[in-house]
Structure 1
């Protein structure tokens, strides 16, 4: 939707067709436009969002013919260059883009409160372009008759010297005056009807000129439209190519992601297999007695003193008469569990955590030796099914315990 701010109502009476203007443009989705005459007077500032190119051009030419088209950035945007080409205008090239501070300073002098940054940027570009020719315009004002001053300014902008522009316009003016004089002399000899016909013919010629100008403008717009169509076709082709590339890239990334996930899964599986393999190797070594050091004997490990624990050890390794067991945790054993173990013919038990008093008494009744691991050196890796016990220390403790029991039995007999 177009939003405009108008200035200088007295310009409505000026011949717009012969007026030359400077146009500042901020291109984009929202276009900002500022229009100024060659005397530095602001005619219009407006912004347009999603507005057609032709509507903006129509708005501009309603104020006159642009001789300078300007912008606030460098390099000059293609849209601004095309606008200059349509009007055959000079494009005000900048060496560097304007800073925000500079634009604020320029626009503040004109007292116009811009509604948005697009209007501000367009107005700053317009003012900057006018300032570029300001000194030349002042010289033109001093040397040029008022009736041709604006035309001289427009010619100076296009690179023609002041004096040459004045001479060209004065020569044309003299020819026009001579022609007007001849026409006036002939008019005196004519009747009023002929005067009316001449005025109509003059108006027709003026309209014909206007039509020719509009036709020329229409041709430029057609060329511009053809260029746009070619650009759209090229962009569609690029878009199709890009979509194809993106789809291929997405497919590749998906395959890569799946392969990485599979690699990660296989690595995890390999790690588990290696850990299991290492555990099995240790287990085999334990079974072969390879991990028992000299002076130590291999004993089976009962992790917890329970029926289930006893059955598991018996199933895996068997329990034979005279076996020595290492019990990691004997605190939960009862008389039945102790009786079950005694029936297997176990000769001695070494326990880690405390052994329940009930189990201790039951085992003692059955003649099974029980020792805490602090009494006999034990090498045991937690989670292993076997432990190593100092054989000499075990035999010594068993003999001591046997002597103690024998002595106690003799005393009770007496």
Structure 2
């Protein structure tokens, strides 16, 4: 039925018109006559090409189709080709402010009160801009034919030829018929120039054939798209709510940005989001690999603990608050664990107190420790063993020490501490005796 309608429209004689199109999910259509008067304005949601073509053909023969962007969208090109119309695009993209000014001035001049949506505004702006581009030539035609008896329809046909590029004089000659022929032939106008009429009929017939082929192609395309739409119906149902929100967002952005700027902005946003997600994924992947490595190391430690011959040593890379916190998180340091300090520099009494609270069985150090830290560990009776005194078997993330070697070193440290206490007590006793002697001498004097 749709094809039959299009064929019927193509055979009807229509007045030439100027069309402005704004393609997209919602198509804006504005139609002006060749005197610049608004004769039709509408926006159609999710319109097919055939629907747009029928809407235009209902109101006249499209001589030229205008777009508000450069280069013109594919949909505008296809419709212009289907209607055998000339295509006009501005040299640069319209700004929203320029569109509003152009449309408002037009409505005031024509004394029209019309409520427009964004699509209708863009379409009307395209139609006005197209008319203004050809306005001088159209006025020249009016001036040349001002005193003639030629009909309005013929004037419009001449204007249509001029818009399509025919010089004004040639266009007038082509449309206007000599008076002598009219006097000789009283029959209807179609008999005045049968040869020219046949040529015109032949051209129209060929044009109709071309249009029918294009319509047939469009019908096949529409059928294929319908089948595809059916397959995608389930998916579209899930995305419908999201699409509504996106449509609203696009409507708002359409007032402020051109289509190219909007596209670049959306692409830039998506690229940033992808990069952010990629960075997050890489970070999570590294963390997972690290945790797996730590778990494997902890399981290996457990195996050695059960065997009993060797004792696992948990490593603290730096003698700082951050280093201790990191090691506790990684190795779950608990009471009676053996700790290896890779770097003992920088640790003072406060850092030593944090480590002493964990109550390790012993601390193995590869470097000299500060006196303040040593005193804290001695007060908490935590053995400090120099790494050079024992043999450490280094693994990937931890170390091993023979149980017998560790017990010997702890025993040596305890003996040393007992000896140091005895010396301190002896020194303290001698100090008391000396103080007593001095006091006694004073009393004797």
Matched, 1:400 2:400: no
Equivalence for 1:351: none
Residue pair 1:31, 1:49 contacting (<8 A) in 2 also: yes
Deviation at 1:115, TM superposition (A): 2.4
Q: Give the deviation of 1:140 after TM superposition.
A: 0.7
CA contact (8 A) 2:314 2:340 kept: no
Q: Which range moved further: 144-153 or 398-407?
A: 398-407
Shift of 1:52: 2.4
**Runs (5+) with no aligned partner, structure 1:** 1-14, 187-206, 235-248, 305-312, 327-346, 348-390, 409-414
| 1:179-202, Cα deviation, whole Å (9 max, x unpaired) | 962469x9xxxxxxxxxxxxxxxx
Mapped to 1, the partners of 2:160 and 2:45 lie a distance apart of 31
Q: Name the SS of the counterpart of 2:101 in structure 1.
A: helix
Counterpart for residue 46 of structure 1 = 42
Q: Distance in 2 between matches of 1:182 and 1:16?
A: 23
Change beyond 3 A, Cα 1:105–1:398: same
1:163 maps to 169
State how many pairs are aligned.
280
Moved more, 164-173 or 148-157: 164-173
Q: 1:103 aligns with which of 99, 104, 107?
A: 99
Is 1:218 paired with 2:212?
A: yes
Q: Tell me the TM-score normalized by structure 2.
A: 0.50
* Residue of structure 1 in register with 2:134 after alignment: 133
RMSD: 5.2
Structure 2 CA distance for aligned equivalents of residues 40 and 299 of structure 1: 97
2:22 alignment counterpart: 26
Q: Tell me by how many angstroms 1:40 deviates.
A: 1.1
Could you tell me how far apart the structure 1 residues matched to 2:370 and 2:37 are? 107
Instruction: Please give the alpha-carbon distance, in whole angstroms, between the structure 1 residues aligned to 2:411 and 2:210.
Output: 107
Task: State the SS of the aligned residue for 1:33.
Answer: strand
The aligned runs of 1:330-409 (5 Å cut-off) are 347=422, 395-402=426-433
Q: Which runs of 5+ in 2 are unaligned?
A: 1-10, 192-200, 229-274, 298-312, 318-337, 345-361, 382-406, 440-445
Could you tell me how far 1:217 is from its partner in structure 2? 2.8
Superposition pairs for residues 10-409 of structure 1, below 5 Å?
A: 17-108=13-104, 109-110=106-107, 111-144=112-145, 145=148, 146-147=150-151, 148-171=154-177, 177=182, 181-182=186-187, 216-225=210-219, 256=282, 259-265=285-291, 273-275=315-317, 278-279=340-341, 301-303=378-380, 317=411, 323-324=418-419, 347=422, 395-402=426-433
Distance of aligned partners of 1:161 and 1:173 in 2 relative to their CA distance in 1, 3 Å threshold: farther
For residues 376 and 140 of structure 2, the distance between their equivalents in structure 1, rounded to whole angstroms, comes to 117
Distance verdict in 2 for CA 1:25–1:180, change over 3 Å: farther
CA pair 281-321 structure 1, distance change in 2 beyond 3 A:
closer
Quick one: distance in 2 between partners of 1:113 and 1:211?
39
Partners in 1 of 2:343 and 2:133 — Cα distance?
91
Distance, in Å, in 2 between the alignment partners of 1:126 and 1:169 is 26
SS at match of 1:17: coil
TM-score by length of 1: 0.53
SS class of match (2:378): strand
